[in-house]
Every structure is written in C-alpha cells, then in structure tokens.
Amino acid sequence: MSAYHPPIDDLTFLLTQVVGLSDVLTTLGSDVESSDIAAALAEAGRLAADVIAPLNTVGDRTPPRLENGQVVTPPGWAAAYQRFVDGGWNGIAGKPEFGGMGLPALASAAVQELWHGANMAFALCPMLTQAGIDLIGHHGSDAQRQRYLEPLTTGAWTGTMLLTEPNAGSDVGQLRTRAVREGDHYRLFGQKIYITYGDHDMTPNIIHLILARVEGAPAGIKGISLFVAPKVLVNDDGSLGARNDCRPVSLEHKLGIHASPTCVMAFGDEEGAYAELIGEENRGIEYMFLMMNSARLNVGIQGVGIAERAYQQALGYAQTRVQGRVVGRSGADLAIIHHPDVARMLAVSKAKIGAARALYLEAAALLDRGGAGDPAALMRADLLIPVVKAWSTDLGCEVASTGIQVHGGMGFIEDTGAAQHYRDARIAPIYEGTNGIQANDLMLRKIGRDGGRTMRQLLEAIVAVAGQLMEQPGDDLPAIGTNLAAAARALGQATDWVVATLDDDQRLALAGAVPLLELTGIVAGGWMAARAALAAAQAQSQRMGDPTYLDAKIVLGRVYADHVLAAADGLARRVTEGGRSIVSIDPSIL
C-alpha cells in the first residue's frame, strides 16, 4: 500500500477561500485565528501520515481477537491511540471546560478527513466517541456530564452507540433489549450486534450509549429509551470500580475495516448491566435523531477520506506503471497515466473528491452558523446532511473501485493494497442509516416538509454562482457556469415534480428518491467545484497562491462540469419518469 499524503493544500484553500473559515470564527466569537487552524491541520497531517496511516495494512492483516472476554486490538493500535490522545485531537471540538479545544465544527471536519484517509478502521473509534459526547452533552443530567464528559472529551475513555439487534436493523422500533428499574438506575438485559469498538484494550473504560425498552413501555419507537452504561462502573470520586455486566461475546467477520472490532455485545448475563437513563423514558429515538446531523456528516467525511486514499494509491501506480503504446505519443515508453482513459478515470475521481470535500466543509460551516443562531443556515445544513452522507459514501466506493480498475489485474491482488480501500469503503453507504434511508429523508423530511422552499433557496444560490462564472473571460469558467445552470434547472424541475407528487402518490415519489439524492449531490458538488474554480481564478488575478494548484482547480472544475454535471438531465428523468415502472412491478417476477 502506498504512503498517505494528507491533502493539506486543498483543505486550506477550501477553508480559507471558499467556505469562509474567518467568517465562521467571527460569527462564533472565537479568539482562534485562521492561522491557528492551519497550523493544527498541518500537525494533524503529520500524525495521520507518520503514525496512523502505516497501521492501515497492519490492522487489515492482523485483525483484533477476543481473549477471555477482552478484545485485543492489532499491533501498534494502542500506542497510536495514545499518541492521538496526547495530542489533544480527540477533543478538538470539545468544550474547554471538559478538556476540549473548543474549535468550530468546520475545523473538526477538516481534521477528521485526515484520520479517515489515513486509516478508516482506526478513525471509527474517536468518531463514535464524539457521538457519545454530543448525546451526553445535550441530553445528559448534570451528574452524567460531570462523570463522563471530561474523560470522553480527552479520549481517556471511548464511547459506543448500541442500536442494532439481530431482529431489528434499521427498524429499531423492533428492539427487545429490556430495561428494569432498580431504584435510581436500571438493569439492562439483551444483546446488540454490529457494535463498533464495543470492546478494546486502548482505554480502561468504554461508555456505552444504548437504546432499550423499559418494562411496560409502548410498542414501537415510541417506547424506546436511551441509557448510558459504562464497561467499568465509575465511583463517586471518578475512580473505576467493578466490571459491569456487559461483555463482548464474539467478533463479526467483515468484508472490510478488519481492524475495527465489531462486537456482539451481551448485557445482563448475571445480575443485569447497571445503566442510567438519559433524559426521560420513551424519548430515546428523539434524542438519537437530534444528534444525527453530526454523525451523518462524519460518515460522509469518511467517504471522502477513503476516496482520497484510494485515489492517491491509483495515481501513484499510474505514474510508474509502463504498459502499452500511448496513442499519439512517440519515443520512450510512457507510464499508463498518459493513456486517455486512465487520465479520465483519475481526473474525474479527483474532481469529484474535491467537490465532495468542499461540500462537507460547507455543511460543517452551516452547522457552525446555525449553532450561532442562524436558522436559515441550519435549514440548509439539514437539507445537505443526507446528501453529504450518501453521495460522499457512494463516491468512496466508486473511487475505490476505479482505483482497482486503474491498477488493472494488480488491483485485484491484495498485496497492492487497492482492494483494501474498496473493502473498507463498502460499509459507509450502509451504516448511520443506509443511503436509501438518506434519500427518503431528503425527499420526505427535507424537501417535503417545507414544500421545497429550502431546496429552491439553495438553487437560487447555485444559479447566482453560475451567472458569475458565465461572465468571466476565457473558456473554462463560462463553460462551468453554463453546465451548472443547466444542472440546476434539472434539479429544480425534479424538485417541483416531487413536491407536486408527494401529496398524491408518496410511493411513486419515493421510487425516485435515490436518483433525486444523486442529482442533488452532483449539483451541490458542482456548486462547490464552481466556487472553488472562481476563487482560484480570483487568486490568480491577484497573483496569490501556487499557480500550478490554482490552474488545476480550474481545470478540475471544467472536468466536473463536463463529466459529472452532464448526467443531471438523465437523473432528473429518472426521478420524474422512472418511478412508474418500479411501483408497478409484481415482486413475483424478481
């Protein structure tokens, strides 16, 4: 597997020139400077490249094992995690009163890509811990915040989310884990599956956040409550006591992310696992959904990170592999990167990665602005989050698959490392709500809830950028603007059809939910690619920045317009015309 080169230049340019890092810091009233974040990004890149990335192959080939009720992580894992914690990286967005750095979500998002690009299986652990911090911070009692937030924020302990059961996947309303009241706490009895980092040897304690049903609660999702249960009980003075009645009983054997211990967890084999209620009974799903924006954003970042790593692997191979005569070139043998089709695969991959990176940064900036009291920013973030999650994770699979294709037969050989990226990427479209669920969310909750108003406002912003580009000199920028405007029209037509159809035939509308999300992704990504190209042209006119990088940003914007935005009309027709053939299918013919 090739070395990982953190995309610091692209992240820095997008943060400072496209999504408005300085404005976000001002809006939040932060005393942090953009230069401070740039320095932190560079330092995180060194840790990612030098410490975490080299373990990617190690973990894939030496997965965790379960010994006497304890998960043992791959060689080097615990030491790397300690380096990660010692650098304060686990608490980058955490509140300073609990040991965090207090940086905005925008900075945290950029740094997270580095961890996922370096080693997706490793980065899953702190990602899930952040979800635990969010939940307890927003919905826990004062005592729970005091007990759990500081060690979670610093990374001294890690956190998990336990939702899925053998009989209840995405339909969590069917879960059977029981919670029995016992004084001021509860005892849990049940089993959870697919629990990422449900157990490990990197920290002395793990804080489990668990969905369960209190005895006598209503059926379905209305009767689900949220609990916190530590692996090791915590004494009043913060010291650790006895082991709680929860244990890993097996490890899942997975297609990818082999180094991430995915556990089957049992609760209540003996007296029942000690647990504390978070918030009120029967509001567990409500609490979980309130923190889904950040969780789904993080998974989208994961997709971009693994796409970047797979692209780098393919690029390195294409630059050195010599095979076949290059049409139109004479003389010495040339590497395969000079073949038009290989150049196409790499260019389209790089253009889409850059667009997806800019889009997740835009979404993070909107969350920061929304948290500072801007309701319009929060509405737009809500609209974009399912797109970031689904479109970016599909992109991770696509680019990893393309990377194998660039390698040719060698890509199918495990020794090159290209196959691992594909195997690792494949889980991301599935968890945190499958991408089909994200598409339904986009259509029903985000477009349907306000009759398409937020989407139309986004389209107005996109068309405005397209207009700016069409007024620029030269060929590339006007072409980008023209293609972007056409794609925005297609999305607008699809949105109008969805709004009109939802009231009459929801099933027909939902048959086009996935192509609608893909269409939204490529148009929103095109908007970001266009903004980046425009910012690059402005920097060129002011003789600022690296000319080679800026030229590439404009060229890749043109590649995106020609090869990605060109699909918009076909996707719009799939939304508006493709549903009838789906809803009319008799399942017996399938």
Nearest to 278 by CA among 138, 165, 180, 131: 138
What's the chain's length in residues?
Answer: 590
Helix 292-320 to helix 105-118 angle (10° resolution) is: 40
In terms of phi and psi (left: phi > 0; alpha: psi -120 to 50; beta: otherwise), the region of 324 is left
Catalytic residues: 432
Nearest to 484 by CA among 560, 385, 550: 560
Nearest to 390 by CA among 507, 276, 515, 539: 515
Residue 472: other Cβ atoms inside 10 A:
17
Residue 83: other Cβ atoms inside 10 A:
13
Return all residues near 250 (Cβ < 8 A) that are at least 6 apart.
66, 263, 264
Residues forming a β-bridge with 335 = 322
For residues 489 and 477, give the distance between their C-alpha atoms in angstroms, rounded to a whole number.
18
Q: How far is CA 79 from CA 40, 48, 73, 507, in A?
A: 21, 14, 11, 51
**Contact (CB, 8 A) for 166 and 192:** no
For residues 269 and 109, give the distance between their C-alpha atoms in angstroms, rounded to a whole number.
39
